[in-house]
Copies of this chain bind each other. A is one copy, B any other.
Amino acid sequence: MAKRATIKDVAEAAGVGVATVSRVLSGGSASPQTRERVLAVAAQLDYRPSALGRNLRQRRTGGMGLLVPDLTDTFHAQLAEGVLACARSAGEPVVIGSTGGDPEQESELIGMLLEQSVDRLIAVPSGDEESWAPAIRAGMTVVFADRLPAAPPVEEDPAVSALNDLLLLDGAAPPPARAKPLDVPSVVADDRGGIRTAVRYLRGLGHRRIAFIGGPGHDRRAAAFREAVGEPLDEELIVFGTGSRDSAYAAASGLFQSRPDLTAVVAGGNVLGEAAVLAARELDLRVPRDVSLIMYDDVPWAELCSPPLTVVAQPGRDMGYRAAELVLRSGGRRQRSVVLPTELIVRGSCGPRR
């Protein structure tokens, strides 16, 4: 690294103390002449304050961390672009990590960020609330984007269980003592509205046996789907993949084969939509003649499919931007969560029930 000028160099060259230079550069008070001289010298020396010194002094790194499951999921890429846009305009660095949807990798990455003293983090979480507790406790300012961590598995405390059994309290068992839920601001899409609109649209076309294919983190969408469909609910029509494209394909293909009677499917994300299109084609199901399809996420290629895909668009880029704003503006006090609207974009992948 070519040696760069330090604040000391500037101070000497300007004939002032380092404190003065620091003040001038961070907008503190200084006489106009001093200020001007310092500025001139700094420019002449091409001085750039080192973030290293500042960070150490302030015991924190500026900027923010960004954790997403997978950048090749175009929606996450859009979200990331939003975060980067905001960070760029703020001149702040972004340390990024891809978790592969694996809570363990996620935790490791959080550890890495902690080590870097990155104390602001935007995350599309993969782990559950429990796995996020340490980060919060460590003092990180976290903002969740796109989804929230799942509630931790209810711990079957053997003693309590036994007691409950004994007292025959099963039916009206008190809610198991669970860790208090995380209080973290978030930026998510209106999944409930988005899914409901999609289901209603399909209903309006005459569809009755509608399926949902989800992936990790799509629990809220699945819940919204259950709610929108109402009774009678056919749980077999709700399937999940584990996050990889392969497993998404397997889920879609399995669904089509086991339930040839379904006439429409809602894919909970673009990777699942991709899988659904592929699986349908492989099984010679024609869209929308044999099966109607609505995909969550509007991605460029949705328009390229034949027929073009009808989608529930969520503003990925905006979500990222807003999340970054939230995490930056968090001047200590609590931030409100934000829910962004979705939009049903009707193209050609849905038709009347045959």
Interface residues of A (CB under 8 A from B): 1-2, 4, 48-53, 55-56, 59-61, 63, 66, 70-72, 74, 77-78, 80-81, 84-85, 88, 91, 93-98, 105, 108-109, 111-117, 119, 137-140, 245, 274, 277-278, 299-301, 303-306
Contact = CB atoms under 8 A, between A and B. Distances in A.
Contacts of A81: 70-72, 98
A55 B221 CA distance: 44
A306 B306 contact: yes
Contacts of A114: 4, 48
Contacts of A2: 137-139
A97 B94 CA distance: 7
A246 to B, nearest CB: 11
A283 to B, nearest CB: 15
Copies in the complex: 2
Contacts of A94: 95-97
A96 B320 CA distance: 15
Nearest to A111: B48
Nearest to A137: B2
Given A52-B59, A71-B81, A93-B112, 4 more contacts: A52-B117, A71-B78, A274-B304, A304-B304
A200 B79 CA distance: 40
Contacts of A55: 52, 55-56
A109 to B, nearest CB: 7
A72 B72 contact: no
Given A1-B139, A115-B48, A274 B300 contact: yes
A39 B282 CA distance: 56
Contacts of A116: 51-52, 93
Contact of A1 (B51, B60, B80): B60
Contacts of A71: 71, 77-78, 80-81, 84
Contacts of A70: 81
B56 A56 contact: yes
A96 B114 CA distance: 18
Nearest to A117: B52
Contact of A305 (B78, B85, B108, B304): B304
A93 B98 CA distance: 11
B306 A117 contact: no
Contacts of A138: 1-2, 4
Contacts of A304: 274, 277-278, 301, 304-305
A116 B1 CA distance: 12
A304 B74 CA distance: 15
Task: Give the interface centre of A78, A80, A96 by most chain B CB atoms within 10 Å.
Answer: A96
